[in-house]
Structure 1
Amino acid sequence: MKKVFFFLMMAVSLSAQKTEVVELKQSIKDRKGTTKSITVIDNRSEKEIGNIPFRKETYTLKFGTDDLKNYIEDWFSKDNKVKGNNDIVLMLEDVKAYNENPEDKTSMTKIKFKFSSFIKRNNKYYFLNRIQNVITSDSNFPKYIASQISNAVTGMIKESYVSVPLGGAMSEEDLTNYEKYITENSPLFGGKELKDGVYKDFRSFYEQKPEPNYVTDKNKKGRVTNIKDTNATLNEEVIDNKQVFGYIENGKAYRSTPAGYLEMIKDDRGFYVVATKAELFPVNNGTGAMIGAMTGGLLGAVIGAAIDSGSSRRGKNVDTSGMPNVYMDSLTGSYIFD
């Protein structure tokens, strides 16, 4: 009788747990035909993506194969018959899906990503791009979660085709601690004084190369309202705040956001702004938009480019004591949410 009861319990347990496969089937064709190969370094400490609840059942999320390295490399070869000269290295560092309160039906699944890419030239490696974030999904539907993970991997690969190398050359051994190696040798984090001026994008900010002829325009209260190009023709001198990354004044850095220019404070973790997620992303475009922002890398580091920053500008006397510190990825400028 005990054996029958045991097997019944096992059957119930197995029936309540299902598997959702993350399929990597989207096209990753390099439209410009510049890439020769993709080599994958799978550094994930845990190969399982995670278990998530949905409608009284538990779903195990997993990739369609345990050998993700060969699968992605073959995926690239099948989608790219015409090849170029660039050898790209894709490093998989972390992929997790979890629900912090699975008993609560309103609790949403979180997805944690960390992927990095490099280009290999003459046995040296140069950083290209990175996704490093935790997003809260706007749906707990397992197929939707799986599709977002697939979108992130696909987007990361496609963005790497067009990314421009950042920082100096690294050896293969340096890849194990690439962020420390790159930042320690950078103008932004190397301990030098920050250069005053206006910066069009994160790359110029990282390289400490302010835009010539760009100046800040202030109102009577001393707040920066616009950026001006002193070389532009009449009526075209005003640069939209959405088209710049930020500026530095008297050694202090400020980032352009939908809430206005917010001070970028630096500590041992990097730069951060004190703001809510709603201030940085005032329009909820769903998880898909977050994936897009995450994979934008160096080309899309000006977050909120499609948002009217004036409509959400923060008041001067707003209490920020309860707001979180939102850090920026030290290699891409993207916001990192916990």
Structure 2
Amino acid sequence: MQITGPGVTATGRIQPVTITITDEQITAVEPQTGRAWDHDGFILPGLVDTHCHGGGGFAFTDPDIEAAASAAEYQHRRGATTVFGSLVTASPDDLLRSVRMLSELCDDGLLDGIHLEGPWLSPAQRGAHDPRWLRVPDPVEIDRLLRAAGGYLRQVTLAPEIEDADLLIDALVEEGVHIAIGHTAASYDVVQHAIGCGADVATHLFNGMDQWHHRSPGPIPALLAAAASGQATVELIGDGVHLAPETVAAVLTMLPPGRVVFVSDAIAAAGMPDGSHLLGTMPVRVTGGVARLDQPGDEPPLAGGTSHLADQLRLLAGMPDVIAATTSTPARLYGLADRGVLKVGARADLLLVDSAFGVQRVMRRGRWLDPVASS
């Protein structure tokens, strides 16, 4: 199979190419000199979403493996051809069960990794996590989760100020797991210490953490400084809800290329009508596409996202480094050398988008996924 049109090459440039696909792999990427294109928009690598809880009414915490599989397949159809299944704070038994189940989906090729967002978080910055199950690290539980993950545990979000955080960081780094700092009230110095111990990611920077105060700087400037020096990569949720576009633009301008990863943080409510939903065990209310905990108050905490990574790409496409931040940067960070790029040997995952970066067709493993739901 061959596809011709303006494509994002391995160098990050958009230029006319002919891409040859054999079975599940890209076998040639050659310059195209004519205008006999199959596609007049752009050909992009499949998007890489490393922080996703579900979508289309399905969640990765669902005890039914078919429902969890449907969450992955839904995200594939929306353009995220590489997905990490993210799990929120839960009881030890439920968390272990979910990790085992997602490991099976990784074996089957539906998921590409597992991300634990909790349960080792700050009660003060727990956001939409169930406070009943926040806890300090237990070496026995850590070992059980690592074995259940079968090598697919890619990232763990933790608050570095909790008791025995260093024990947890050391154990996970030794197993090749990326440590993400998030849902934290840590001081600048505590975050710096965690980075020195091996933490290298910021979970949805600005959200779920103490804010930047000029006399008490906290985690945000520490994480930005680490990213600026090449020690860390920061996640941003660029959906226009979690962060103002001006904040996103400032971070992209502030940091060198390759230090920002966009994530959806999508929950089961992504792509669904407004109404009542769940995030793990916590009730969520979606109003106007914004998900918040279903509890009294003028502005309950945000509870994940309802956008898709492709929506963020379209919204932010005019900003620098956005294509890389949704494709090659996360792939490189997590050692997925055959994802996020259009090059010989890469997995045949790609998107056809129009001139406004709206998704028209999605290919995963050399197979078109139809129909693509409208955004």
So what's the TM-score if we normalise by structure 1? 0.26
Tell which structure's C-alpha radius of gyration is larger.
1
Report 1 or 2 for greater relative contact order, CA contacts < 8 Å, sequence distance ≥ 6: 2
| Structure showing the higher strand proportion among its residues | 1
So what's the TM-score if we normalise by structure 2? 0.25
